[in-house]
Structure 1
């Protein structure tokens, strides 16, 4: 039987590209499902992690309490109890929460492989110089994503849980938080921060495409800062300290993106100069 010869990127039709994309998506989905199955089995470990931000002894609360005490600031993070209960009000509530939590954990664990499959799909369209310059794409994007997820878990989630879980309009109302709402907050915080921390990678790609330059990023820096503050105000409790804690890392990422864009353009000019000679 004759061996099937794989077509080059230039010889592939639109349908061939769709077929190639389909297999990359299938392999990515398979990796997520395998990781999700492992997370589903490791129920006690996963849910122990998710319930940790509800504990007043959680490391984030300790650090914030010590920082507030040493600076003689508001000690709102120094407390011994988070006065709310978590409940499940639906027959399949706990099972559904288990399934979705496992899928989310599976996506986070399999993220580097998903990026690898994405890279395998787009890399044939790049020239050798672009492929060489983007060699560390998977590693850098994965590290930024994981750092963002940890930031969402250790910073955004505790701040939100502390504020929303203790907020009361009246002493007559007791907070009984639904299981899906509690886990949804942690999942959204972790995944949203993981995506936001991909900003340098996004700027890198936009610079390579010629859509962004360092001058544009500097010109619109003040608008970016306003946007960052607005996003921080949306995803955090309505107090200045929480917003600043979230906004500072994102602003640092924006500044790193400016230097990254400058570096990319500098490398491209050097490459063009060598090619011309």
Structure 2
């Protein structure tokens, strides 16, 4: 009963006291946990398989005496310490549960933020989710496909006669970091389109940035990818193409805005104002205001005061 009354009294624009905001946040977190905990229990049964999948890009040696290991063409996958297998097992399960429950906790985050957004802001937020999710998935897929090519290149720098030992934690951490780096990097065009749609930056200005953007993308790709040119090119080329796609979208969006809003004025130019009343012609004089019915006549005595054009002394 109290909960239904609380929902009825809620402001239609999403305004509420701080206590209500905290209560709303608590409810959203509980709902997200109700989705996360069961998926965590399920993911723990498959943690070993998931860890195997994430560490698959490593070219493995059968033993330390493998000639390929001494030549730096493969590595020995290891787990160091008594607690290392268990901590890896738990971390992989938590990570898998977070990914699997992402639709639920992302929706709860959206439901917590949405009441405070305007209608056009909600539209942009929904478009961000619809377009941003495929871009992130494509970037993550590209990163996982690059790893089997990048790891042998990095192992080739080994000192002759040495054996590489790669822990499962390091390999899983590297895989996750590279997947996140590629996925987040592919959100660049979406960010630029949102800035243009919000009127922050124009398409012509973004086009003028192209030299600096291409150089910045190349530097970013060299930093986040492993130390081989193949991975850098694999990230830089799609990001550059997506940047120019965002510029093209922004130019078209600016043209559409100009058609809908008419000619633009500079910041120091005043627009012309038409001060002519709508109901008379430009050469006709403006007459005296018409009196209200109760003001049309005045009294001869001083009880009502002297009226001029229907108005007494007071008004």
TM-score normalised according to structure 1 size: 0.75
CA distance in 1, matches of 2:190, 2:105: 15
Following superposition, the deviation at residue 187 of structure 1 comes to: 1.0
- Matched residue pairs, number? 248
- Equivalent residue number for residue 37 of structure 1: 41
- Equivalent residue number for residue 88 of structure 1: 79
- Equivalent residue number for residue 107 of structure 2: 116
Q: Is the 8 A contact 2:58 2:75 kept in 1?
A: no
User: Cα gap change, 1:102/1:192 in structure 2, threshold over 3 Å: closer, same or farther?
Assistant: farther
- Equivalent residue number for residue 150 of structure 2: 160
Following superposition, the deviation at residue 132 of structure 1 comes to: 4.1
- Equivalent residue number for residue 219 of structure 2: 230
CA distance in 2, matches of 1:261, 1:166: 44
| Relative contact order higher in (CA < 8 Å, ≥ 6 apart) | 1
The structure where helix makes up a greater share of residues is: 1
1:5 match: secondary structure: helix
Following superposition, the deviation at residue 205 of structure 1 comes to: 3.4
User: Cα gap change, 1:13/1:258 in structure 2, threshold over 3 Å: closer, same or farther?
Assistant: farther
Q: Is the 8 A contact 1:149 1:190 kept in 2?
A: yes
TM-score normalised according to structure 2 size: 0.67
User: Any gaps of 5 or more consecutive residues in structure 1?
Assistant: 57-80
CA distance in 1, matches of 2:30, 2:191: 24
1:86 match: secondary structure: strand
User: Any gaps of 5 or more consecutive residues in structure 2?
Assistant: 61-71, 263-315
Question: Residues 5-34 of structure 1: CA distance to partner in whole angstroms, max 9, x if unpaired?
Answer: 321344313453344344434434554444
- Equivalent residue number for residue 212 of structure 1: 201
- Equivalent residue number for residue 131 of structure 2: 140
1:112 match: secondary structure: helix
Q: Is the 8 A contact 2:59 2:75 kept in 1?
A: no
Of residues 232-241 and 179-188 in structure 1, the stretch that sits farther from structure 2 once superposed is: 232-241
Over the residues paired in the alignment, what is the CA RMSD in angstroms? 3.1
- Equivalent residue number for residue 195 of structure 1: 184
CA distance in 2, matches of 1:159, 1:102: 27
User: Cα gap change, 1:11/1:123 in structure 2, threshold over 3 Å: closer, same or farther?
Assistant: closer
Q: Is the 8 A contact 1:39 1:102 kept in 2?
A: yes
Of residues 197-206 and 222-231 in structure 1, the stretch that sits farther from structure 2 once superposed is: 197-206
Q: Answer with 1 or 2: which has the greater Rg.
A: 2
CA distance in 2, matches of 1:100, 1:139: 29
